[in-house]
Each structure stands twice: as C-alpha cells, then as structure tokens.
Structure 1
Amino acid sequence: MSTNNQLVNRKRFSNSLRNDLAIEFDKLHNKTQIPKSKLLDEAIELLLEKRNHPIPKD
C-alpha cells in the first residue's frame, strides 16, 4: 500500500445500509456538506451511548 493512502487516525471498513437509509444519508451529506465519515462517527457515538457502551477518550 502506498504511503499516500494510509490512514493515521481512522480505520477503513466496508459495510452496507438499507436502501432507504443510504438515500437519506446521501441527502444529509449533500445538504450539510459534512463528510460522510464525520456523520458516521457521530452516528456510531450516539449508538454506543444509547447502548451504554463507554467510548474511550484518547
């Protein structure tokens, strides 16, 4: 892997969404211009809090 493509503070992963969620996720990204990775960070943080799973802070 080239050094230009390495992530330092992030981990690449692949997954899938229900079609309706993917469409709304794209709409939210386009409306807010917030990067999808940042929106996913926020969503996962909220899910972990909802499930009472502590989030380690660096």
Structure 2
Amino acid sequence: MGAIIFAAIVVAIVLSVAVVANLAIGRIIHWDIVTVLGSIGFVFLTIGRRFKTV
C-alpha cells in the first residue's frame, strides 16, 4: 500500500510541475499525452517501489 501512495504522490508532483512549466512558457499541453505518461509513470513507480528498486 505504501508503494501505491508513494507513486501517486510522485506522479502528481511531476505532472503538476509539468503543467505549470508549460503554462508559464505559453504552451498548451495535450491532455491525452499527460494521461498516458502519468499512468505509465504511476505503474512503473509502484512496481519499482514495491520491489525496492526506486
């Protein structure tokens, strides 16, 4: 359970920073890409944390 919480927090922080940075430089984020990358990041961070590699 700790791995899932860790992954959710990390993905939320990274995506928040990406959104703020893109808005600051005047770019529009394609939310489909953000959704896919966020989901992939969440899965890999959860697996990595569970097996103590992250």
Question: Normalising by structure 1, what TM-score?
Answer: 0.37
Higher RCO by CA contacts (8 Å cutoff, separation 6 or greater): 2
More helix by share: 2
> Which structure is larger by alpha-carbon Rg, 1 or 2?
1
